[in-house]
Amino acid sequence: MQTPRRAMRMEAEEAARPTGASDRAAGGWGKWVRLNVGGTVFLTTRQTLCREQKSFLSRLCQGEELQSDRDETGAYLIDRDPTYFGPILNFLRHGKLVLDKDMAEEGVLEEAEFYNIGPLIRIIKDRMEEKDYTVTQVPPKHVYRVLQCQEEELTQMVSTMSDGWRFEQLVNIGSSYNYGSEDQAEFLCVVSKELHSSPNGLSSEASRKAKVPGCTLPAPS
């Protein structure tokens, strides 16, 4: 039978024991973990934090060589931006990167690198590279040229156009010349071409000349 004095001492010791100490003394760490990130408290499970074995969070909750202060509730204190910690924690929960429309991917990448979460780092970098590639794509420009030719040259010129040029419009300018016994009408032939530019602004066609029978078209500058 315990004496009143001993019972009071045991109650005092139990009250002074830090949160979670009883679980550790019993050989377990408990299921739930509190994290105080930059003043914002997050509640999650130890299983979630340990999903990436090499991450800072996994090592923290397993007590590996990492020393972290705790607040008055026993939550681990982490001096990082809580705004970007939410996507980090959700990725550990379900394996998907979900961001609000106003959240910068660069900020989440910085935190993912700090916590050493390899799969998330690769996902964000791939998304950023894909966006950069999309932004740098320059839509093609349409370049138009007007060719002046005689009636006898018209059929051959239209049928043998090359280098990406294509026929757009034919205009009879109403002039005619007499060559021997035949009158030759004169036409203006409008042709066009798609000019693809690279991100540095230089055309892949810059050094080429497009040739059409009867005339030469200088490449657009």
The pair of structure tokens assigned to 69 is 């202060």
pLDDT of residue 17: 43
Residue 122 burial (CB count, 10 A) = 11
Q: Which residues pair with 166 in a beta bridge?
A: 192
Q: Which residues contact 111 (CB under 8 A, 6 or more apart)?
A: 80, 81, 84, 85, 88
Sorting pLDDT into bands at 50, 70 and 90, what band is 20?
very low
pLDDT of residue 83: 93
pLDDT tens per residue, range 25-80: 333 356 899 999 999 999 999 999 999 988 999 988 777 656 678 899 989 999 99
Q: Over 90: is that where the pLDDT of 82 sits?
A: yes
The packing angle between helices 118-136 and 105-115, to 10°, is 150
Delineate the domains of the chain, giving CATH numbers in brackets.
32-136 (3.30.710.10), 141-176+185-194 (3.30.70.2000)
Sorting pLDDT into bands at 50, 70 and 90, what band is 102?
confident
Q: Which residues contact 87 (CB under 8 A, 6 or more apart)?
A: 97, 98, 99, 103, 108
Q: Is the pTM of this model over 0.75?
A: no
pLDDT of residue 199: 52
Q: Closest by alpha carbon to 119, among 91, 99, 98? A: 91
The pair of structure tokens assigned to 40 is 């914002």
Q: Over 50: is that where the pLDDT of 14 sits?
A: no
pLDDT tens per residue, range 172-187: 877 655 555 566 678 7
User: To which residue do tokens 């008055």 refer?
Assistant: 72
Residue 51 burial by Cβ neighbours in a 10 Å radius (0-12, 13-18, 19+): middle
pLDDT of residue 210: 42
What's the average model confidence in pLDDT over 131-158?
73
The pair of structure tokens assigned to 181 is 């016994």
What's the average model confidence in pLDDT over 157-177?
74
